[in-house]
Chain A
């Protein structure tokens, strides 16, 4: 932290004290009423304070805090830097931002759940409007029809994408939505306490699920990958009569397109639910989870018109078959009419929620990600019926090109041969981190290193392609990777390469 507070130790309050953070500024016209130079978001002048204290019937602000026992009162100013004017705060934040290698200053092939898609200008223009930016959750529907209708449109879009009839109005983000699906599944399964998870599920989703499962009193069993895909034989062994749900991802974390229908069938044969974490952008071309027999589809909303934002805020989506409607987590907007018969929207099925049902609620979520879901709704309206298909096709083709191009590079081999959609995995013949550092010198973020989360794929690299990555940039990545592997490989200690 920089400069400590410049202000003197805060004395106990006295009634006639000028507020410590206020000062009278002399001007040509004489002293102004005191203006607070720090807390510019409040308006009370000394005259206001005096009048307000008078109306309350106390002689000092201190009296209003007298329920706080004296020994618990903080007897010093907070040890934080002093407040500063807007211009200085802007400069401080801009200086911090300048120390990040963002996707404008870097050609980024990073994915792993969040992708550098173009966000159309209308998204920022609309979500910046005060009417969307500043309200609370729509507890007063008569003055919240805009937000409620957006939720309704969002639910419609998610329902269309997933092929499932019941979608909610958003959860926090992807991995915690996976864990929330487990809560639903355990509630539906009545007594079954086992959750079977494919290793193709995002590591963050698996870790989050494991964290939540302690609270749920559930056991998590992992099924490995074979040839980039969920190992069907191991899966058949793992899913049994104790299993509440199977968790898979499509495309999976290594980019491979799974046989979602076969996975759902395997779950159903054992009487378990199938939960799929899906990539919403790819649902323009891939069969929908609903069509494949999936019971609950969830996913990360960032690719739909949301910023990268170093990981958040984005949103999670959650859709299910009708039979689970009353077990769903989160807000759900529903259509109704007003007393004059006008069409309107309200929060529906609120008896599921924490503010009504308390300890029997289907979830504890309150504040969710409404503004991010609005961005997603606008983005999907912008893409439209044809755009979502065209974008999916574009991604599949550019990814195929990039995969083929990289596979030709000396020192790069494919980690698996399974079909891929928007992302693929390779193995490098040199330590991944050193290669990534070298490629970064060319202004390229080559991808996501798999080694920490998948020790079995040491020096594995996950490479993502979006509509923003041109053929030329893909070629530049291939060339840079080739040079880096040669350079790093050449300097590699002999005992490691042996």
Chain B
């Protein structure tokens, strides 16, 4: 055991200063006549607006935006910021989300005027630096995924998934086949089945075997000539690398389907194995996970896709093309809008370019070996944390759901804690907040009872992993002595447990004004 100890936090005492403060919205700070923005004079003739646009198209009463001064705005949002937990404050082992450090260099280069102030409709000849950056990022992702062609266009993982299924549809349609079924394991991210429906296809669930991988017999039975695609995450959401992957891809290919790789867990395997080499046709990459784009409280992200030769003709438009041989100097880059078989556009302009800049800077900083080491350390950290936890009370109350070891994340079952201690995973998660940690992902994947999904990432130190393991142990010790401590948690956060059902039963989703 480490000598790093966790100080037991106080609880259930007097409210903290933050808790005593009533949350007021910016609208409730509004006072008629106050303002922050002062705009320039028009400097041109100023006829009444009705002379320029017919009155019937004009608004009689302006929108009731708040009336506040600049200092009030700054103070308001600073106050709000302190009501958030963030990655720079402490460990954030949220499974499947890859909460790794966000290098500030990436923010700095993304803010350069040549990037941040570049209009998206700037003709390619005057945006060569941007197109070259995108081309280089495409090449890097192609190498990492082991697939030759890349489109950066999708805005997030789920958008990449939709692109992937529309590509699959186009591929089959072009061959005169109408395949409608998409196989997804029961451990899949919720975005997978939701995307299948949006793409007009039908979900067919595949069972999980006792090793946490795909049940091959079930797969064989369902891999019919109606199957368009198999969507798979590998390592999957149990943190398990499916050792039968070669057989899985063989079965689906033999049935005539395509293989889609959900890249949410790519952080486990960079430089060690590649989805293309496993037999996948289409991969999406979450730049906001493996490639360090900050999550921003729920975006922006970016979900580029890498594809095999047979899928390439259908890629979204426009494509980045390079003409001229040689590397870098002398090459010219352009946007190609032609592509008779393309599925078309998925969004406006060229994609989330600001994210591309950050992720390119990240790849450039680490290089191939650095990325390989990042994955190695992510797997090492996860296994170390798992070992530390198993050697403590968690070993008894929160056992590993499958197998003995994990890749970059692991899934624990809180079933024994529930039966032996009468505390739920939710209670443990809420108590972790008092200890200064963001909890793991909870109640996912669905097939594990009282699941906790833990992904520490490579950027946590050994000491912080020790502290996290000790916190779990301390919380389970509290549960052994008085489970009410956990059931009442959290105590120290800006608000305590919230009534989520009420917010959906009688939704109040905007500030009432008048």
Contacts and interface: CB of A to CB of B under 8 A. Distances in A.
Interface stretch (A240-248, A364-372, A406-414): A364-372
Contact of A135 (B62, B87, B352, B496): B87
Given A48-B462, A143-B433, A56 B73 contact: no
B365 A286 contact: no
Given A167-B509, A313-B299, A385-B64, A39 B361 contact: no
B53 A419 contact: yes
B226 to A, nearest CB: 17
Contacts of B56: 261, 287
A396 B349 contact: no
Given A71-B246, A104-B117, A145-B23, A342 B496 contact: yes
Contacts of B387: 55-57
B330 to A, nearest CB: 13
A156 B54 contact: no
Contact of A285 (B58, B121, B273, B352): B58
B86 A333 contact: no
Interface in B472-514: 490, 493-500, 502-504, 507-511, 513
Contact of B39 (A43, A74, A135, A394): A394
- Max chain B C-beta neighbours (<10 A), residue from A80, A147, A382, A400: A80
Given A287-B58, A361-B194, A40 B365 contact: yes
B507 A348 contact: yes
Contact of B119 (A19, A116, A167): A116
B115 A310 contact: yes
Given A172-B299, A339-B498, 20 more contacts: A77-B369, A82-B369, A96-B114, A100-B128, A101-B118, A103-B117, A130-B88, A143-B85, A145-B84, A146-B82, A215-B166, A215-B200, A215-B201, A311-B352, A312-B120, A334-B509, A338-B498, A349-B504, A382-B73, A387-B35
Interface string B277-313: 1100000001010001011111111100000000000
Contacts of A285: 49, 53, 58-59, 62
Interface stretch (B96-104, B214-222, B252-260, B416-424): B96-104
A219 B44 CA distance: 46
A415 to B, nearest CB: 17
Interface string B27-66: 1001000111101101111110100111011110011111
Given A80-B371, A342-B495, A346-B503, A67 B241 contact: yes
Interface string A353-364: 111111111011
B17 interface: no
A325 B383 contact: no
B113 A105 contact: yes
Interface stretch (A206-214, A230-238, A267-275, A476-484): A206-214
B348 A308 contact: no
- Max chain B C-beta neighbours (<10 A), residue from A183, A257, A334, A364: A364
A370 B296 contact: yes
A108 B380 CA distance: 51
18 contacts: A39-B377, A41-B101, A55-B384, A56-B405, A86-B105, A90-B105, A102-B114, A145-B23, A145-B494, A153-B511, A217-B200, A259-B57, A310-B115, A312-B355, A313-B299, A335-B503, A357-B194, A387-B35
Nearest to B40: A467
Contact of B364 (A89, A156, A176, A211): A89
A386 B35 contact: yes
Given A145-B80, A342-B19, A122 B74 contact: yes
B117 A38 contact: no
Interface stretch (A1-9, A23-31, A487-495): A1-9
Contact of B379 (A61, A215, A261, A433): A61
Given A42-B373, A286-B59, A342-B22, A138 B273 contact: no
B247 to A, nearest CB: 10
- Max chain B C-beta neighbours (<10 A), residue from A7, A145, A310: A310
Contacts of A311: 120, 348-353
B374 A42 contact: yes
Nearest to A165: B510
Nearest to A104: B113
Given A334-B509, A359-B196, A132 B297 contact: yes
A496 interface: no
A470 to B, nearest CB: 6
A190 interface: no
A140 B36 contact: no
A364 B162 contact: yes
B42 A42 contact: no
Contacts of A160: 63-65, 513
Interface in A56-73: 56-58, 61, 64-65, 67-69, 71-73
Contact of A361 (B67, B197, B372): B197
Contacts of A126: 74, 77-78, 81
Contacts of B68: 381, 384
A440 interface: yes
Contacts of B509: 152, 155, 166-167, 325, 332-335, 348
Nearest to B55: A287
Interface in A150-200: 150, 152-153, 155-157, 159-161, 163, 165-167, 169-170, 172-176, 183
A156 B36 contact: no
A231 B128 CA distance: 39
Contacts of A325: 507, 509
A126 B27 CA distance: 18
B349 A374 contact: no
A153 B430 contact: no
A145 B496 CA distance: 11
Given A67-B243, A108-B119, A370-B297, A471 B43 contact: yes
A140 B85 contact: yes
Given A100-B114, A143-B493, A358-B190, A79 B297 contact: no
A421 interface: yes
**Top 5 closest A-B pairs, CB basis?**
A97-B114, A311-B349, A371-B296, A83-B367, A311-B120
B101 A74 contact: no
- Max chain A C-beta neighbours (<10 A), residue from B34, B116, B158: B116
B394 to A, nearest CB: 14
B80 A381 contact: no
A39 B375 CA distance: 11
Interface in B339-379: 343-355, 357, 360-361, 363-374, 376-377, 379
A125 B74 contact: yes
Contacts of B147: none
Contacts of B136: 1
A368 B103 CA distance: 21
A366 B157 contact: yes
A346 B506 CA distance: 13
Given A348-B507, A370-B298, A371-B299, A10 B372 contact: yes
A452 B83 CA distance: 49
A35 interface: no
Contacts of A100: 114-115, 118, 122, 126-130
A259 B381 CA distance: 60
Contacts of B94: 136, 139
Contacts of A366: 156-158, 189-191
Contacts of B242: 67
B304 to A, nearest CB: 13
A388 B65 CA distance: 8
B312 to A, nearest CB: 17
B511 A143 contact: no
A393 interface: yes
Contacts of B433: 140, 142-143
Interface string A431-444: 00100100010000
B316 interface: yes
Contacts of A146: 80-84
Contact of B162 (A108, A207, A215): A215
B387 to A, nearest CB: 5
Contacts of B377: 39, 42, 44
